[in-house]
Amino acid sequence: MTAPVRDATAPTTSPSAPTLREAFHQPRSVWAIAFAATVSFMGIGLVDPILPATSSQLDATPSQAMLLFTSYLFITAIAMFFTSWFASRFGVRRTLLAGLVLVVVFAALCSLSSSVTGIIGLRAGWGLGNALFISTALAAIVGATTGPSGGAIMLYETALGIGMALGPLLGGLLGSLSWRAPFAGTAALMAIGFIAIVALLKDEDRPAPVSPVAALTALRHPALRTLALTAVFYNFGFFTLLAYSPFPLEAAATAEGGEFGAMGIGGVFFGWGVALAITSVFVAPILTRRIGLVPTLLGTLGALAVLMLVLSVFHTSMTFLVVLIIIGGLLLGIMNTALTETVMEATDLPRSVASSSYSGVRFLGGAVAPAVAGPLAAATSAGAPYLLATGTLVVAMLVLVLGRKHLTAVGAHSLSAVEEAEAITLGDEG
């Protein structure tokens, strides 16, 4: 959905904070979208706990198993460049339903596949569906509410947090039965979401048209380009932690005479998801208001670089790994929200176009990380991917410092409730 062009220096007013009654007293259509959004966000971390099991049971290397993230994120990245155009061409409701159909079909096919290469290809289709759904879910949930938008936004943020936290836990629970079960479970839940949206969400007015290449041409803007490049190197670190860490966890547990398994990995990343959700919704806004967006970004990137460096040294200790992964979730939640909020403040581009452009570039960084981490660990040592991630986070800091002159509009105004929610939503997508 295209937002009107905004003067980056003009203040905006934010509606008063919604009450819990306003947040949860919503039409059934809003609840239907919130349910589907929860399941969609669960899908991001669902695969994480079953990566070691998938690798061993399908006779695949860890590098091949991590490509389940790469194919998913690469197609999500490409799709994100065009989702704003797609929604303006076909409407929000049809875009939501198209995304859900794709997720249901490809998740179900993943559960029936018998080879890791087949699942890698099917995860690409899943990524396309998720991009279509997530990119328009916020606009749909705000448009479907009959009361103040703040209440619907709070409900959406709640769904987001629950989904990010429960994804790894559900993946661990179902993965302890079979590596196929998390895929089948996601397909079933998304099918329920599809039926609910078909039954409860009405057609809406068609959004204003957007050029098919609007998100690509937006990268000519120096501020957006600076932040997108920052996000590429940052997301390499993010997905090194998310996609690679299950393997050192499993190895550390084995070395200490135990077996972590899907349930153990799911529990660790449940803690990671809860930490990420808490700081993205509650801590990041406080920090950015008190010390500013760019200082928050630089400080958090520096803390993440130190964390990755420590991980590269202590990756053989299960206790250190568990604690550091959860601390990483706290830092990633702050970084995600602050970075996306900075994108939304730094330019006068339409919000949907800037979001699509930035998301497309940053997901490319996430797609590269799993593809590099596995071969690097196999060729050198298990700590090497974390050391490389330390380097990419330092590069992200350098890009941000060198491009800071283009970010003069940042901090000139406060975000509206809808813009704040979009920052949290797009940030927590990874």
Provide mean pLDDT across the span 165-186: 91
Encoding tokens for residue 141?
Answer: 């949930």
Place of tokens 């996601």: 186
Place of tokens 């403040």: 345
Return the closest-CA partner of residue 328 out of 298, 304, 292, 357.
Answer: 304
- Does the structure show a pLDDT above 90 at 373? yes
Collapsed DSSP state (helix, strand, coil) of residue 137: helix
Encoding tokens for residue 44?
Answer: 């991001």
For helices 284-291 and 318-346, angle between their N-to-C axes, nearest 10 degrees: 60
Mean pLDDT for the chain overall: 85
pLDDT at residue number 31? 87
Residues 51-80: tens digit of each pLDDT? 998 888 888 999 999 999 999 999 999 998
Return the closest-CA partner of residue 347 out of 174, 217, 197.
Answer: 217
For helices 293-313 and 284-291, angle between their N-to-C axes, nearest 10 degrees: 120
Distances (CA, A) of 15 to 18, 31, 117, 317, 418: 8, 22, 49, 48, 10
The whole-angstrom separation of Cα 395 and Cα 227 is: 12
**Confidence band, pLDDT 50/70/90 cuts, at residue 12:** very low
pLDDT at residue number 77? 92
Residues 309-319: tens digit of each pLDDT? 999 999 999 99
- Does the structure show a pLDDT above 90 at 377? yes
- Does the structure show a pLDDT above 70 at 10? no
The whole-angstrom separation of Cα 290 and Cα 367 is: 33
- Does the structure show a pLDDT above 80 at 157? no
**Is 382 within 8 Å of 249 (Cβ atoms)?**
no
* Prediction pTM value: 0.85
- What residue type is assigned to position 307 of the chain? L
Rounded percentage of the chain residues whose pLDDT exceeds 90: 52
Encoding tokens for residue 342?
Answer: 């900075």
**Is 143 within 8 Å of 87 (Cβ atoms)?**
no
The whole-angstrom separation of Cα 297 and Cα 339 is: 7
Place of tokens 């990633």: 332
**Confidence band, pLDDT 50/70/90 cuts, at residue 9:** very low
The whole-angstrom separation of Cα 320 and Cα 310 is: 9
- Does the structure show a pLDDT above 80 at 171? yes
How crowded is the C-beta side of 273, counted as CA atoms within 13 Å? 30
pLDDT at residue number 22? 57
- Does the structure show a pLDDT above 80 at 39? yes
DSSP code string of 391-405: HHHHHHHHHHHHTGG
pLDDT at residue number 409? 76
Buried b (16+ CB within 10 A) or exposed e, 242-272: bbbbbbbbbbbbeeeeeebbbebbbbbbbbb
Distances (CA, A) of 199 to 29, 164, 193, 326: 8, 26, 10, 39
**Is 411 within 8 Å of 292 (Cβ atoms)?**
yes
- If one compares 353 and 388, the residue with the highest pLDDT of the two is 388
Place of tokens 């009959």: 146
The whole-angstrom separation of Cα 212 and Cα 146 is: 31
pLDDT at residue number 428? 58
Provide mean pLDDT across the span 347-354: 80
**Is 175 within 8 Å of 49 (Cβ atoms)?**
yes
For helices 222-239 and 318-346, angle between their N-to-C axes, nearest 10 degrees: 170
Collapsed DSSP state (helix, strand, coil) of residue 350: coil
The whole-angstrom separation of Cα 126 and Cα 122 is: 7
Return the closest-CA partner of residue 137 out of 159, 107, 113.
Answer: 159
Provide mean pLDDT across the span 268-280: 91
Residues 181-238: tens digit of each pLDDT? 999 999 998 999 899 899 888 876 666 788 889 889 999 999 999 999 999 999 999 9
Encoding tokens for residue 396?
Answer: 């992200």
- If one compares 269 and 19, the residue with the highest pLDDT of the two is 269
Positive or negative torsion for Cα 280, 283, 289, 292: negative
Mention every residue, 6+ apart, whose C-beta is less than 8 A from residue 31. Answer: 155, 196, 200
**Is 325 within 8 Å of 275 (Cβ atoms)?**
no
